[in-house]
Amino acid sequence: MLFSGNLSSRKGAQWLLPILNKLNSNVTILYTSGLRGEGELANHPRLVNVGRVPYKDMPELYQSADILLFPTVREGFGLAAAEAMACGLPVVATNCSALPELIDNGKGGFLCELGNVDEFASRVNLLADNETLRKEMGGYNRVKIEERFTLNRMIAEYQGLFEKMLSDFTA
C-alpha cells in the first residue's frame, strides 16, 4: 500500500502507524516524504520510506502498489488520489473536502471518517484480502479518470465557460 504526500498532520501522516498496527501482517505501507522531502516516520519493519520521488517517477510508484491510503485532513482537489486512480488503484481516503467528488465510495474505494483509524484499517484489510475487489475498484477508477479528467475535456469546459461569460457580458 502507498501513502503519497508530505509527512504532515494536514496529510494525516500521524495516523499511518496507528492504522498499520491494525492491519493484517502481510500489509506494508510505502510512504513518500512528499514534495518537501522532509521527515521520516517511526521505525517499523512494515513502514518503508521511499523518500522524495520525482514527479516523473510517480506513475511507476503508484503501479507498484495495490492500494492508495489517503487519510488527509484537508485537500483542495486530491491530486495524489486522482493520480493513483489513473494508475488503476483503489483509494481509501478521508471523507472530506473535495474527495467525495473524486472518489465514489464503495465503487472506486472507500471514504472513511476523519481520523477513524479502525475504519481505515478495516477498509484496507478488506481490500488487502480481496484481489478481485481491488482490481474492480482500480479499473473503475481508471475509467472514471479517463472519462472525466482529461486535458481535452478541461479545455472544452473552460472554453464553454469563457464563451458563456463573454455572451453574458455582451448581452
Q: How many CB atoms lie within 10 A of CB 74?
A: 13
Count: domains in the chain? 1
Nearest Cα residue to 59 out of 4, 16, 105, 135: 4
pLDDT tens for 41-96 read 889 999 999 999 999 999 999 999 999 999 999 998 999 999 999 999 999 999 99
pTM of the shown model: 0.90
CATH of the domain at 156: 3.40.50.2000
What is the pLDDT at residue 11? 94
Contact (Cβ atoms closer than 8 angstroms) between residue 113 and residue 136: no
The C-alpha atoms of residue 135 and residue 66 are separated, in whole angstroms, by 9
Cα 45 from chain centroid (whole Å)? 23
pLDDT tens for 16-36 read 999 999 999 999 999 998 777
Tally of residues, the chain: 171
Residue type, 58: M
Q: Using N-to-C axis directions, what is the helix angle for 79-86 and 131-148, rounded to 10°?
A: 110
What is the pLDDT at residue 19? 98
The C-alpha atoms of residue 26 and residue 46 are separated, in whole angstroms, by 9
Residue with cell 510512504: 31
Q: Which domain holds residue 84?
A: 2-170
The C-alpha atoms of residue 131 and residue 129 are separated, in whole angstroms, by 6
